[in-house]
Amino acid sequence: MVDPTDGFTPVPLHQSNFEVQKPYDVPQNQRYSHINGVHKLWVYSTDKAHTTTSHTASRTEIRIRDMDTCQADHWCVHHAGVRSHQSSHNLNDAGMVKIYIDGDLKYEGPDDGGKSHYFKFGVYEQNDSSNYMESRWKEIKVFKK
């Protein structure tokens, strides 16, 4: 098993780095909680987008602020709070993305371009979604090369 953090240094994260983006017409506490280190995010299929001008489906997500980068030199670890899977996204090669699950490389490919990248995690409505969708996250880590 590969340690995808080899060669990277942890970057301190604080609650102020987490910007909650949720349906624009509901209070944050109706779509997000942070209890005992677990970020719980939920959304309903009837929810609106996160802004009045957005054309996306409903979502509740956290954007990690102050970690935006134009260089692919950051790496983020997402530890799912409920399941045993540990998912990580490794951006250590410019223009390339590597995704590890439980320490095993599952995907490697181009990052689809763009000049600015940022990290986010949460729950997103998709086609044929259920009425209620939820995700839980803990031990979020960002590393820098």
Q: pLDDT tens digits for the chain (145 residues)? A: 778 788 888 888 888 999 999 999 999 999 999 999 999 999 999 999 999 999 889 999 999 887 665 444 444 544 444 443 444 444 444 577 777 777 788 888 887 776 666 788 999 988 888 999 999 999 888 888 7
What local confidence, expressed as pLDDT, does residue 68 receive?
60
Domains and CATH numbers, the chain: 9-144 (2.60.120.200)
Q: 């995808």: which residue's tokens?
A: 4
Query: Each residue of 60-78: b (16+ CB within 10 Å) or e?
Result: bbbbbeebeeeebebbbbb
Q: What is the pTM of this model?
A: 0.73
What local confidence, expressed as pLDDT, does residue 72 receive?
44
